[in-house]
Structures are given as C-alpha cells and as structure tokens.
Chain A
Amino acid sequence: MSDLDQTLAAVKARLKAYDGPRMRIMEVCGSHTSAIVKNGIPGLLSPKIELVAGPGCPVCVTPTDYIDRLIALSKEKDTCVVTFGDLLRVPGSSGTLMQAKTAGGRAAMVYSPFDTLALAKAEPETTFVFAAVGFETTAPVYALLLDQILKEQIPNIRFLTAVKTMPPVIDALCAGGADVQGFIAPGHVAVVIGADAFKPLAEKVQLPFGVAGFTGRHLLAAIDGIVRARGRGVVMNFYPEAVAQGGNAKAQALVAKYFEPGDALWRGMGVIPGSGYYLKAAYRRYDAGSRALQHDRPMNAACRCGEVLKGTISPKDCPLFKTACTPLHPQGACMVSAEGNCLSVYNEN
C-alpha cells in the first residue's frame, strides 16, 4: 500500500465515521455530479454528510426562450445552428431542436466550436449560428473563436450566447437561504478564473469552498476538507495541478476583450444580476439576438427544475419525476442532460 493509498484509507474512514453536525454539501458542476455517481461517492459518506447537485449543468439552466430562438433560427432560410450534442434534446416551450431538425430545420453537432470555421468556409451563403452555452470554462473558447473570425474576416458566423458565471449564482443561492453548509467549487471553472475568485464569496457567506478535480480521490479529498472547515469562509484548492490561485490570465483577458457581464436568466430560477456574459457593443454584429431572450416558459407548468437546481427540493419531490417526466420523455432540462440532476437521481434509483 502506497502512502497515498494509506491516506485515502484514512480519509475514507473519517468520512464514514463523521458524527458532527449535519453537512449538506453542494456541487455546482455537472461533471462533478457525474463523477460522484460514477465513483459511488455517496455510499462512502456518513449519513450526516449529504451531497446535493446545484445549477452546474449549463444545458439545464438554459431558459426556454433560448431554445425557442435556436429552433426559429434553425428554420430560417440559409441558416444552420451549430451546437454541442446535449442541447439538441432540451425542450423549449414547444419541442426540441432535434424535433425541429427532423421537421426540416438545420442543426449541426460539433465537438469543438472551432469546427464551425470549416463549416462556414465551405458554405459562404449560409449563416452559421453557434449555440454558445456554458460557464467561465467555455467563455474563453468562444472569445478565441471570435478572435479567429475577426482575423480571418469570416462574415457568416454568429453567436447566440447563454454564457453564465458561477460566483453570482452561488451568491444568489445563499442569499435565497439555501440549506447548504459547503460547496465543492467547479474545478474547470476555477482553471480559468482561479481559486481566489471564490474567496470574496466564501468570506461573505462564511462557508467553506473546496476546489476539486474529477477523480474519486480528488472528490473525497475535497469533501473531507470541506467537512473539516465547517463554518469557516475559506477556499481550499484540491486541484492545484490544474488550478492556479489566479487562474489563466490570458484567457481572462481575452474574455474581457470581447464580453461584458450582464444580468442573466436561469431556467426556473429567474434573473440573477451580473451572472452572464454578453458580447460587447462593438461586436454585437456577431450576436444573433442573445439579449432579447428574457422569458422562461416551461413546457410543463408543474416542472420544478428551478427548485431542483437550487437544491431546495430533491428531484424525487417533483410531482412529474418518474411519472410524466422520464429520460425518454423529459419535461424539464434536468432530465435531459447526462449531467442533469434529475437524470442522475433517476439512474441511481
């Protein structure tokens, strides 16, 4: 047994035996949610430690207006929507992009936003609209793509943005009285904005934040650290091999060059001040109408995705869960994405 294995064994023993005050710890990154399930972490914890998934899946927090707009764009003449795979199946107020596609709309799925460059060059008569969803992790990728578009003077690419930022939504959750005693901070968001970016927030809400990577060990170390820092407003970096205290300055500068913060609408949670990025006025000709998307009309009025995302109810408490809302017939976005809170719970039970 290596030293590290021995330490892991000690951490696991401590987490299993924990008998202090109840700790509800929220992860706010979809990749953490799926890593927690994949590694079977909940079973390794004392009943007094509960993990709850927050608004960490970008697809799930995207309001219906945004999906509706994408669908409308996909049906416009000489227009093609370009997107990551997950977004195709998210319901808007009436149907999904996938359904629009079978009804004659145009939507292409890519692995990297940069694949849009080749698409646009091959079909100069078509306008390609990239569905730019995501958090701070992906914002610099969009900024770099715009940088390239400007350099190459490519006229036929636009962005429909729904880029959101983490600290403001966590702040809003806490202000709303969320029953949470600590946060697993999103590792890849922190790669860009830095571990220090969570400090003012941790101090304000007086809760511990553990920046974590994505292996079972990373997560166990972070949970252990958070439990032991209970009641203290500190940020601990458990992913130092990738997360610098100050983040990636070059990426931050590029985002600041093209984007500016603004209020953003979160599905089921309403408008949260300063929680989004929008293209600056000088680059607005590359925007496909992102700022106008201010309504959220769920497909099913009984859908409680908003409360699920805030961690105030468990997916099991939603009347639609496993009845009207299933992975094959999702009524809300949390049941769609592989990282969605409802789909995770559905698969676990």
Chain B
Amino acid sequence: MCVAWPGTVISCEDGSAVVDFSGNRVTARTGLVDVAPGDKVLVHAGCVLQKMREEEAEEMKKLFEALGDV
C-alpha cells in the first residue's frame, strides 16, 4: 500500500512531472515537492513524495559501514 519507488525527473510542467523508472515513464503530481529535471524522486500513488538525496545515500553507506565496527 505504501509502495513508493525512486525514479528520475525527465521534465516538469504546471504541477506535474514526467518521472522515469529504467524506461517506464509516469506522470506524477509535484504539489508536495519542488522538483527539477534530473532530480531523483520517490513516487507514491501518482505523486512525488520526496526528493532522494544522493549525499544522504553516501551517508547511509557510511552508517552501514559504521555498523561493522563493533
């Protein structure tokens, strides 16, 4: 139900954006987040829910690595 998946914004216009998921394209509403082409975003129920932050993914990697140091 709370299914959401990351894709990349291809284009934006007037309240919606075309988001690409490895070649599958969905038009998603952008009223909850300001987005620009190239942004990696999370889409839920036809709506952009959040921008994914690459540097945070790096942080996740560090966090995950830190878990190794017991």
Interface residues of A (CB under 8 A from B): 3-4, 6-8, 10-11, 14, 29-31, 57-59, 84, 86, 111-115, 133-135, 137-138, 140-141, 144, 147-148, 186, 188-189, 191-192, 217, 221, 224-225, 228, 238-242, 244, 248, 250-251, 254, 337, 339
Contact = CB atoms under 8 A, between A and B. Distances in A.
B3 A31 contact: yes
B45 A113 contact: yes
Contacts of A135: 1-2
28 contacts: A7-B65, A8-B64, A10-B67, A30-B1, A31-B2, A58-B1, A112-B46, A137-B4, A137-B44, A140-B49, A141-B32, A141-B45, A147-B31, A148-B15, A186-B2, A188-B44, A192-B49, A228-B70, A238-B60, A240-B63, A241-B54, A242-B50, A242-B52, A244-B50, A248-B50, A254-B32, A337-B1, A339-B1
B42 interface: yes
Q: Which 3 A-B pairs have the closest CB atoms?
A: A112-B46, A241-B57, A188-B2
B23 interface: no
Given A144-B31, A241-B57, 9 more contacts: A84-B1, A135-B1, A135-B2, A137-B49, A141-B44, A144-B47, A240-B59, A242-B56, A251-B49
A248 B67 contact: no
SS class of chain A's interface: helix, strand, loop or mixed?
helix
A224 B70 CA distance: 11
A86 B68 contact: no
Nearest to A247: B50
Contacts of A111: 45-46
Contacts of A244: 50
* Chain B interface helix/strand/loop/mixed: mixed
A241 B52 contact: yes
Contacts of A337: 1
B32 A144 contact: yes
A29 B57 contact: no
Interface in B26-67: 29, 31-34, 42, 44-47, 49-50, 52-54, 56-57, 59-61, 63-65, 67
A7 B31 contact: no
Given A11-B68, A114-B46, A248 B1 contact: no
Interface residues of B, number: 32
A30 B49 CA distance: 18
Contacts of A31: 1-3
A14 B2 contact: no
B4 A250 contact: no
Contacts of B31: 144, 147-148, 254
Contacts of A192: 49-50
Nearest to B32: A251
A134 B63 CA distance: 31
B62 to A, nearest CB: 10
